[in-house]
């Protein structure tokens, strides 16, 4: 018996020789071996999930941080714009007020005479004449304005007026400033010039000083004032001073 082996490609044909057998030839296929991938363990899967979740959390945190930064920047920009707008509005209001005050000052004519009259409703005094002099004789007749101080139509003036508490009966000084100690904050004082222009003041200060405290007669920056003075204390040794700031000017 002889064996015939024919190699054809990847197949080996094996047959019997001349023994007359009807057996079918056997075909065998040899396939190359393929290495199997290792099965994923639970630890490996958990690690992969952890890495993926960690990456997503980091991305979310980064996005939230950027959103917060953007929101803060937008808020700062809005606050800055609001502050700039408020400053501009305030400046415009101040400018308008200054212009209005300047117009009012320009509209008030300066009188040709220094004559004035004083009205203090709280004290029951109406249209008392004011003399622009330091004369003691004039003081016996009524209230005087210190000539060294300004007039109500002058900007930044401290119009300083003095009068007796009791004075002299039968004259304009009689009990002229007897009620001055009753004056308090918010009370009104009025001066009227020769043109009939009325200047309204509101009491803002009440103080007692000594005769040597001449600083009370001086003007103060940014204020238009009137000061009323009379004698108080033991032996009339002290001076009561009531100060009021101008709140309105009413032209005749």
Q: What is the pLDDT of residues 42-69, one digit of tens each?
A: 666 666 666 677 778 888 888 999 999 9
Domain boundaries, the chain: 41-107, 116-250
The Cα 246–Cα 198 span in angstroms is 11
Determine the longest span between alpha carbons in the chain, in angstroms.
177
Rounded Cα–Cα distance for residues 215 and 99 (Å): 31
Task: Kindly report the pTM of this predicted structure.
Answer: 0.59
- Dihedrals φ, ψ of 69, to 5°? -65, -45
List per-residue pLDDT tens for the chain, 252 residues long: 444 444 444 443 444 344 444 545 444 545 555 555 555 566 666 666 666 777 788 888 889 999 999 999 999 999 999 999 999 999 999 988 877 766 665 578 899 999 999 999 999 999 999 999 999 999 999 999 999 999 999 999 999 999 999 999 999 999 999 999 999 999 999 999 999 999 999 999 999 999 999 999 999 999 999 999 999 999 999 999 999 999 999 987
The whole-number pLDDT of residue 104 equals: 60
Nearest to 227 by CA among 247, 248, 204: 204
Alpha-helical segments (H) within 27-145: 42-107, 136-141
Please give the pLDDT value at position 220.
97
CATH superfamily to which 116-250 belongs: Sortase (2.40.260.10)
Neighbours of 18 (CB within 10 A): 7
Secondary structure (3-state) at 12 = strand
39-66 per-residue burial string, b: 16 or more CB within 10 A, e: under 16? eeeeeeeeeeeeeeeeeeeeeeeeeeee
pLDDT score at 43: 64
> Could you identify the residue written with the tokens 């020789």?
17
Residues 87-122 as b/e (b if ≥16 CB within 10 A, e otherwise) read eeeeeeeeeeeeeeeeeeeeebeeeeeeebbbbbee
Tokens 């199997």: give the residue. Answer: 36
Closest CA to 198 of 150, 248, 234: 248
| Residue 23 CB partners (closer than 8 Å, separation 6+) | 16
């Amino acid at each position: 018996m002889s064996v015939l082996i024919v190699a054809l490609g990847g197949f080996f044909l094996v047959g019997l020789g001349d023994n007359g057998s009807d057996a079918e030839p056997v075909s065998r296929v040899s396939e190359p071996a393929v290495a199997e991938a290792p099965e994923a363990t639970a630890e490996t899967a958990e690690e992969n999930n952890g890495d993926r979740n960690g990456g997503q959390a980091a991305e979310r945190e980064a996005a939230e941080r950027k959103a917060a930064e953007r929101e803060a920047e937008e808020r700062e920009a809005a606050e800055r714009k609001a502050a700039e707008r408020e400053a501009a509005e305030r400046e415009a209001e101040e400018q308008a007020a200054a212009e209005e005050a300047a117009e009012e000052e320009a509209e008030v004519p300066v009188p040709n005479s220094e004559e004035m009259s004083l009205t203090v409703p709280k004290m029951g005094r109406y249209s008392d004449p004011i003399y622009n002099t330091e004369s003691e004789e004039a003081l016996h007749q009524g209230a005087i304005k210190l000539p060294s101080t300004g007039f109500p139509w002058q900007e930044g003036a401290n119009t300083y007026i003095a009068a007796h508490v009791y004075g002299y009966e039968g004259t304009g000084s009689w009990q002229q400033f007897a009620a001055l100690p009753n004056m308090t904050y918010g009370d009104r004082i009025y001066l009227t010039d020769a043109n009939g222009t009325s200047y309204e003041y509101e009491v803002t200060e009440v103080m007692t000083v000594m005769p040597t405290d001449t600083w009370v007669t001086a003007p103060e920056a940014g204020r238009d004032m009137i000061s009323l003075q009379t004698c108080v204390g033991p032996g009339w040794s002290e001076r009561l001073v009531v100060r009021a700031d101008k709140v309105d000017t009413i032209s005749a």
